[in-house]
Amino acid sequence: MKSPDLTEWIQRYFQEYLVRQRNVSPATVAAYRDTFRLLLQYWRQKRRQALATLSLESLTPDTV
């Protein structure tokens, strides 16, 4: 079985963890969404790598 890619993990984080388990406000979800957008934009521009190459394992303190 193929392991979930990063986009699936992010989607699960928002839908299952933040919304269902933590019951956070829509404003919190929007703030987290914007943070992920900035991270992905940084990855694409500064690291000069396609987002398709980004994996959960590649997100380390050193790369962020």
What's the confidence (pLDDT) of residue 54? 80
Is 21 contained in some domain?
A: yes
Q: List, for residues 8-41, the tens digit of each pLDDT value.
A: 889 999 999 999 999 999 999 999 999 999 988 9
Q: Give the count of domains, the chain.
A: 1
Query: Is the pLDDT assigned to residue 4 strictly greater than 80?
Result: no
Is 1 contained in some domain?
A: no
Higher pLDDT, 53 or 15: 15
- In sequence order, what DSSP letters do the residues of 6-58 get, joined into one string? HHHHHHHIIIIIIIIIS---HHHHHHHHHHHHHHHHHHHHHS---GGG--GGG
Is 16 contained in some domain?
A: yes
Query: Is the pLDDT assigned to residue 2 strictly greater than 70?
Result: no
Domain of residue 10: give its range: 6-57
Is 64 contained in some domain?
A: no
Higher pLDDT, 3 or 53: 53
CB 41 within 8 A of CB 54: no
